[in-house]
Amino acid sequence: MVLADEKPFDLLFMDAAPEKDLSPENWDHVTELISVGGQIVLDDLTPLELWPPEWRDKVDLKRRFAFENLRVTSVEVRTTDKTAALMTTRIR
């Protein structure tokens, strides 16, 4: 991560996240890039109900980070009829 030395941020926009950044073993590193109360915006998601059949068993690292990481709370919002984004807030 290029700006890691400038942390913590109040807002971090992650447009494209390499798999290694959102793997569970890196959740603390990513979470600590933002201050408590700060937010991470993760975009370019396809709503689950629009996933094609071949994606059904795929692990969605963005949603997993947002909804399984105990240090954040998240909400998924529709940005268009066919796209979504995650608003993730660090809580600890």
pLDDT digits (tens, 9 = 90+) for 53-76: 999 899 899 999 999 999 999 999
Specify burial of residue 23 (Cβ count, 10 A radius: 0-12, 13-18, 19+). Answer: middle
Domain that holds residue 22: 4-90
Q: What whole-number distance in Å separates Cα of residue 9 and Cα of residue 15?
A: 16
Do the beta carbons of residue 22 and residue 30 sit within 8 Å?
yes
Checking if the pLDDT of 4 tops 90, the result is no
- Provide the domain count of the chain: 1
CATH number at residue 27: 3.40.50.150
> Given a cut of 90, is residue 41 above it in pLDDT?
yes
